[in-house]
């Protein structure tokens, strides 16, 4: 089995103006590790994608945070997979808990977006995660298994192996609460086991699985020491360029 290349993905959410985005990319562009060591990704608002792609260096890549699953159509305010692709993005966040909870995205929507991502040669960063009530009632595995089964419906193995999965316990996003490294690793092992159930152990051992949820510069090293955590999807803490470089440097040492 080839070594899984770590991934650091910054989710900018609805932050940064044009000038702030330019300041950030100029600060990090020449300072991230080589792509053979770490996949360093900025998932930016759609309106900033082309601006960033034009300035991405050899080792930095840009992703989008959302897209519609239709090729085109009368969906005011949405962006199509083709528009995301031709803006120059290489990655697409799919199924983030904020999309599910604030905008009513369903498991069916997630699956349709997965299919659309592969149709347009975009690498999906598939987000899965449980609510606090699920964790406390010992339903985490059941919830994650169901999300994974539905997300990967009609996705064949040759595509599934390219997916990056981000495990984000919903109770730890933006709350300051973080799953312990051991807890995160144990849950990610369960996610990997479910991928093995769906596609076999070889593919499961190749898929990168990230942790997300109040990741900070002071806990990234401990998280990345764990066997099955292949990187991180980071929100607020990755809005600072210096922090982003701390995260990518930590990943390069995994």
214 annotated ligand-binding residue: yes
Question: Is 115 exposed, middle or buried, given 0-12, 13-18 or 19+ CB atoms closer than 10 A?
Answer: middle
DSSP single-letter state for residue 245 = H
8 Å CB contact between 216 and 237: yes
11 annotated ligand-binding residue: yes
Question: Is 151 exposed, middle or buried, given 0-12, 13-18 or 19+ CB atoms closer than 10 A?
Answer: buried
- Annotated catalytic residues are 96, 168
User: Rounded to 5 degrees, what angle do the CA atoms 82, 56, 239 make?
Assistant: 95
174 annotated ligand-binding residue: yes
57 annotated ligand-binding residue: no
13 annotated ligand-binding residue: yes
8 Å CB contact between 53 and 20: no
**Signed CA dihedral, 164, 170, 172, 174: sign only:** positive
CA distances from 241 to 10, 12, 30, 82, 245 (A): 10, 12, 12, 29, 6
Q: Which tokens in the block code for residue 85?
A: 């692709």
Alpha-carbon gap, residue 128 to 137, rounded angstroms: 18
Binding-site residues sit at 11-13, 174, 214, 235-236
Binding-site residues for substrate sit at 11-13, 174, 214, 235-236
């Amino acid at each position: 089995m080839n070594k899984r290349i770590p991934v650091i993905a910054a989710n900018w959410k609805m932050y940064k103006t044009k000038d702030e985005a330019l300041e950030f990319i100029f600060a990090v562009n020449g300072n991230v590790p080589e792509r053979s060591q770490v996949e360093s990704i900025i998932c930016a608002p759609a309106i900033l994608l082309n601006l960033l792609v034009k300035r991405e260096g050899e080792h930095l890549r840009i992703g989008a945070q959302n897209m519609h699953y239709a090729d085109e159509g009368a969906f005011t305010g949405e962006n199509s997979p083709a528009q995301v692709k031709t803006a120059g993005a290489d990655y697409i966040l799919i199924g983030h808990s904020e999309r599910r909870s604030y905008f009513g995205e369903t498991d069916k929507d997630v699956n349709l977006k997965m299919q659309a991502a592969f149709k347009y040669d975009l690498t999906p960063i598939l987000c899965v995660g449980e609510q606090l009530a699920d964790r406390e009632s010992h339903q985490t595995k059941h919830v994650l298994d169901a999300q994974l089964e539905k997300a990967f419906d009609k996705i064949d193995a040759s595509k599934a192996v390219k997916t990056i999965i981000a495990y984000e316990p919903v109770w730890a996003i933006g709350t300051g609460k973080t799953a312990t490294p051991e807890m995160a690793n144990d849950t990610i092992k369960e996610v990997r086991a479910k991928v093995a159930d769906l596609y076999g152990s070889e593919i499961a051992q190749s898929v990168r699985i990230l942790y997300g949820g109040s990741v900070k510069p002071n806990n990234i090293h401990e998280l990345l020491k764990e066997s099955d955590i292949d990187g991180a999807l980071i929100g607020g803490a990755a809005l600072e360029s210096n922090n982003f470089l701390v995260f990518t440097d930590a990943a390069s040492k995994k």
